[in-house]
A and B are shown apart, each in its own frame.
Chain A
C-alpha cells in the first residue's frame, strides 16, 4: 500500500517535471526527447503504483495488467490517468461478482470406528501350529502371517521355511515374500558397501570392512541363509573382520564378532582366544561372559559357567540375560 503511494508520488513529480520541460523547451528536439523519456518513466511508476492499489482480483494476470496500465498512461496523458483512477474507485465500490466455479462445497463425513468382522478374537494356539496346520482356515493362516511379518526372522525363520512347503499357495508365497524382503534389505546394504569400498580411503575402508563383517554375520544370525550359502556368508564375515582388525587391531567389537563366528564354526580354542582378548581390551563382562560361558558349557565346565555368570550379575547392565544369570546363581 505505502509502496504503491510512494510510486504514485514519484510518478506525479516526474509528470509535472516532464510537463514543465515540454512547455519551456517545446521547440527544441532535445526538449521533446527529455519530455518523452521523463513521461515514460512517470508512466512506469504510475502503472506500478496504480496496480498496487487495485483490488486483489483485478491484479491478475500480473504482467499484462501492468502493461495495460502503462500503455494507458503513456499514450493518454492526464485523461488516461484520471479515467483509470475512477475505474479503480468503481472497482472498489462495486461488490465482487463471483465467477461460476465448477465446484460445490461439501463436508467430510466424521469417522466412526468400525470393528473388524471376525468373530474369533483370541485363540489358544501357538503360532507354529496355526501357520503350518493344514486344517486351519486360510484367512486365519494369512492373519497369522501378518503377525509374523513384523517379528525378527531369527525367531520365525524356521517356521517360515516350514510354511514354504505348505500346500496352499497363498501362505507359502507370503512366507517367501517375508524371507525374501528381509534378505534383500541386507544384501542391498552389502552391495552398497562393496561399491563404496572400490573408491574408499583408508579410514573409510576400515568402517566399510566393519559394516560388511556385521552384515554378512547378520545374514547367518537372522537365519536368512542355509547350507553352503550360510557357510559362505560366515566365511565372508570372517574375512572382513580380519581386514578390519588389520586396520585397527584394538577394535574390541570386531574381536567379539570374530569369536562368535569361530564359536559357530565349533573352533572353540581360537574362539576363546578372541573372547579373552576382548576382556583385555576392556569390554564389560556382560558383553563377553555370555559367550565365554557358552564355550565353557560346550566343554562341560559347569563351575566355570557359574563363575562367569556371577561376574555378569555384578555388572549392572543386563536385562535380556537376567533369567540365565538367575539360573546360574550359587545356591
Chain B
C-alpha cells in the first residue's frame, strides 16, 4: 500500500518507533486519538531506527490521516567522498559555547536563543552542515579540544566515534524537518529524537508544539544505557573507580537528557498521564506552568457489551495481556503461575499478545514453562481480540517492571475483570484509587511489588478463590473506569488543548 500524501495538514504527529508500524499501548492511543478527531486532517511522520527493524503496518490508517512519511535514523549514508575543509570557526565557537551551557546544567533564555541559532545553521552549505561536522578542521579542533578537557576515558578513537555516531541523527532530523509538509500544529508522542525533531520544527516554523508523554523516554533510555554491554570502558585497573560510570555511558545518557530538555523547552504544552510522571518531567527540565495531566480513557460502550457476555461464574483463568517482551516481565508471571498452580490445581495462565517483537525472550519464556513443569497450566494465545478474550478471564495480571497508565487494566475493569498488578506507573492509582472519593469505590484487585512471583501468585489465587472479594473488586473496577477513565473525558481535554493551541498558532 502506498502511503497517503498531501501538501498540508492540520496536525502533524511525530512518532518515534510506534504507530503504525509497532503495536502496543502508545500505538493504540495514537490510533484512538486520530479516530477521535475526524474534524482534523492528520499527518504522521514516523521515525525509526532501521528499515529492517519494522515489518508491515500494524494498523489500518484512519481516513483522516492524509499524509504519512517514514524515515530511518541509522540508515548507512551514501558513502560519497568529501574533501577536508577549514570550516566556519565562528559557528563552531558557538557550538562550544552551547556545550558549556549544557554542562552547567541550567536552562535559560540565552541558551534557548543559542539553540535556535544553531538549528538555523544545520542546513546544507551552512556553517554547521553535516559536511562541516564530519570533514572540517574547525570540527576536528573542537572535538580534540573537548577530548582533552573532558574525557575520562583514554581512548581517543572511541571518543571520536562516539561523538560522531551520537550526533549523526541530528542532520537526518534536520533534513526531515526541512522537507516535512506544513502543518498548523506539531504533536509529538515522546521526547527523544521525535521530540527533538519537534523542537527543530517549532524553531523553524514558529508553529505550536504539543508533547504527550506516556512513559518517560529519557528515563527509559537511561536505564537501557545503564545496562547496555556495547559501551566500552578503556580505563585501566589503576584508573578505574568501581563506583564511577564508564565515561561514554555517561555521555550517552546526557545526550538523551539534553535531547529531552530541548523538547521540553520548545513545547507549548506538556501532557503527562499521571502526577508522578508530570513531576518527573519537571525534574528533567519541563517548565512546570506548561505541564498538565490527562489520563487515558477507554470506549465504555464497547466494553459494556463485552461485560454483558460474561456469565456468573468466575473462570479460574489469570491472563497477561501484552507483548511478550522483557519490560512486561512475563517470566515473573510464569513463576507466579507455579504458586497459583500449587494452590489451585485447576487454574490456567494465559498470555495474550504478539511474540514476534523479541523472539529470543519468547523462547526463553517457553523454556521456563517447561522447566517450571507448567505445560498443562500455561498457554500462549498470540494476539487476541480483547472483546472475545475478556469474558473468559477471571483476573488480569500485569507483571511489568515499568508501565505508565496501562489501557488493558481499564479495559478489563470496564469489562468486569479485576486485576493484580505490580506497583509500577499509575497501577496503584488505577486499582486502589487516587483521591478520597476515588478510594471510597474500593479496591479493584491487588497491587504487589515487582519481580516477586510468590506475592503475585498468592494475590491471584487469593482473588480467584474468594468469590465475595472478587465480586467487590469487579464492582470497584467497573465504577472507577466509568467515573474517571472514559474516552469522552480524554477527548474533551485534548479537544480543548488542540483548539487553544491552533488558535494561538493563528494569532502569532
Contacts and interface: CB of A to CB of B under 8 A. Distances in A.
Contacts of A150: 242
Contact of B227 (A111, A161, A174, A191): A174
Nearest to A106: B140
Contacts of A147: 242-243
Contacts of A170: 219, 222-223
Contact of B451 (A143, A144, A164, A228): A164
A25 B309 CA distance: 108
A143 B250 CA distance: 12
Given A113-B239, A173-B401, A179-B451, A228 B339 contact: yes
Contacts of B239: 113
Interface string B103-147: 000000000000000000000000000000000000010001101
B452 interface: yes
B152 A102 contact: no
Given A109-B147, A109-B148, A228-B342, 15 more contacts: A106-B140, A115-B152, A116-B241, A146-B243, A147-B242, A164-B452, A170-B219, A170-B222, A174-B223, A174-B227, A176-B450, A177-B226, A187-B371, A191-B367, A228-B453
Contacts of B368: 187
Contact of A173 (B149, B223, B453): B223
Interface residues of B, number: 50
Contact of A229 (B83, B148, B338): B338
Contact of B149 (A103, A114, A177, A232): A114
B151 A114 contact: yes
B457 interface: yes
A173 B364 contact: no
A165 B151 contact: no
List 8 A-B pairs, minimum CB-CB distance, nearest first: A227-B454, A109-B144, A111-B154, A177-B227, A104-B84, A143-B243, A173-B223, A102-B81
Contact of B244 (A116, A226, A228): A116
A110 interface: yes
A176 B326 CA distance: 11
A176 B401 contact: yes
Contact of B338 (A116, A144, A187, A228): A228
B150 interface: yes
B227 A227 contact: no
Contacts of B423: 165
Contact of A142 (B150, B151, B226): B226
B338 A146 contact: no
B402 interface: yes
Contacts of B342: 228
B155 to A, nearest CB: 8
A130 to B, nearest CB: 10
B454 A226 contact: yes
A247 interface: no
25 contacts: A102-B84, A109-B147, A110-B148, A111-B147, A111-B156, A115-B152, A144-B243, A147-B242, A147-B243, A161-B451, A164-B449, A165-B449, A165-B450, A169-B219, A169-B223, A173-B223, A174-B226, A184-B364, A187-B367, A226-B453, A228-B335, A228-B342, A228-B454, A228-B457, A232-B372
B245 interface: yes
B82 interface: yes
Given A173-B223, A191-B367, A229 B335 contact: yes
Contact of B156 (A109, A164, A229): A109
A199 interface: no
Given A109-B144, A111-B151, A172 B244 contact: no
Given A174-B223, A187-B364, A226-B454, A232 B148 contact: no
B450 to A, nearest CB: 5
A108 interface: yes
A213 to B, nearest CB: 14
B84 A103 contact: yes
Contacts of B144: 108-109
A116 B149 CA distance: 12
Nearest to A100: B83
A20 to B, nearest CB: 55
Contacts of A108: 144, 156-157
Interface of A: 102-104, 106, 108-116, 142-144, 146-147, 150, 161, 164-165, 169-170, 172-174, 176-177, 179-181, 184, 187, 190-191, 194, 226-229, 232, 236
A114 B235 CA distance: 12
Nearest to A190: B371
B339 A227 contact: yes
A114 B150 CA distance: 6
A181 to B, nearest CB: 8
Given A106-B140, A109-B144, A173-B402, A146 B242 contact: yes
B361 to A, nearest CB: 10
A187 B368 CA distance: 9
A170 B335 CA distance: 24
B292 to A, nearest CB: 21
Contacts of A227: 339, 453-454
Contacts of B335: 228-229
B506 to A, nearest CB: 39
A170 B454 CA distance: 23
A115 B451 CA distance: 37
Among A114, A143, A181, chain B packs the most CB atoms within 10 A around the CB of A114
Nearest to A179: B451
Contact of A112 (B148, B223, B453): B148
A103 B81 CA distance: 10
Contacts of B227: 174, 177, 181
Contacts of A102: 81-84
Among B81, B84, B342, B451, chain A packs the most CB atoms within 10 A around the CB of B451
A114 B239 CA distance: 11
Contacts of A232: 338, 372-373
A84 B144 CA distance: 50
A146 B245 contact: yes
B79 to A, nearest CB: 12
Contacts of A142: 226, 245
B256 to A, nearest CB: 13
Contacts of B449: 164-165
Contacts of B82: 102
Nearest to B150: A114
Contacts of A172: 450
Interface string B396-431: 000001100000000000000000000110000000
Contacts of A190: 371
Nearest to B103: A117
A190 to B, nearest CB: 7
A116 B82 CA distance: 37
A104 B150 CA distance: 25
A317 B241 CA distance: 33
Contacts of A165: 423, 449-450
B242 A113 contact: no
A176 B452 CA distance: 11
Contacts of B373: 232
B58 to A, nearest CB: 27
A165 B156 CA distance: 40
A164 B149 contact: no
Nearest to B155: A111
Contacts of A180: 326, 451
Given A103-B84, A174-B227, A229-B335, A116 B152 contact: yes
A213 B122 CA distance: 61
Contacts of A191: 364, 367, 371
